[in-house]
Structure formats: structure tokens, C-alpha cells
Amino acid sequence: MADVAKRVGVSRALVSLVFRNQPGAGEETRRRVLRAADELGYRPDSAARLLARGRSRTIGVVLTVHQT
């Protein structure tokens, strides 16, 4: 998102609003952000999104094996 924001000349927060389809950006800005994202080949990282929300959907398992 930082690369998209830099290319368009807006904040990362504004890019986030556009990607989440939230109010706060004008139509022209939305078009510019989405065009820049397409040109840069931006793809959302679902793992990063889950980690940012405090959820990884990953379960850790620890096993201890003793041989006698």
C-alpha cells in the first residue's frame, strides 16, 4: 500500500480507505489509487491482513517426544 500511496501522492490511510471501499476519498482519487494499484501489480496479502487484525488463523502444536 505504501508504494501505491507514494505513486499517487496520498497517504497510506487513504489508500486503505479506497481498498476497503470506505467513504473518505473522492471519485477521482479512487480511480487514481486503483489505477496505480493495477499498474504496480498490487495484490492484498491476506496473511498480513489477518496478522494486523490480531488473527493468523494458525494453530501451533508443540509435542515433546521421550524415548526410553
Ordered structural domains, the chain, with CATH: 2-52 (1.10.260.40)
**pLDDT by residue (tens digit) across 15-63?**
999 998 999 999 999 999 999 999 999 988 877 777 777 766 677 888 8
CB neighbour class for 29 (10 Å; exposed up to 12, middle 13-18, buried from 19): middle
Helix (H, G, I), strand (E, B) or coil at 66: coil
Q: What is the pLDDT of residue 35?
A: 96
- CA gap 53, 2 in Å, rounded: 18
Q: What is the pLDDT of residue 44?
A: 80
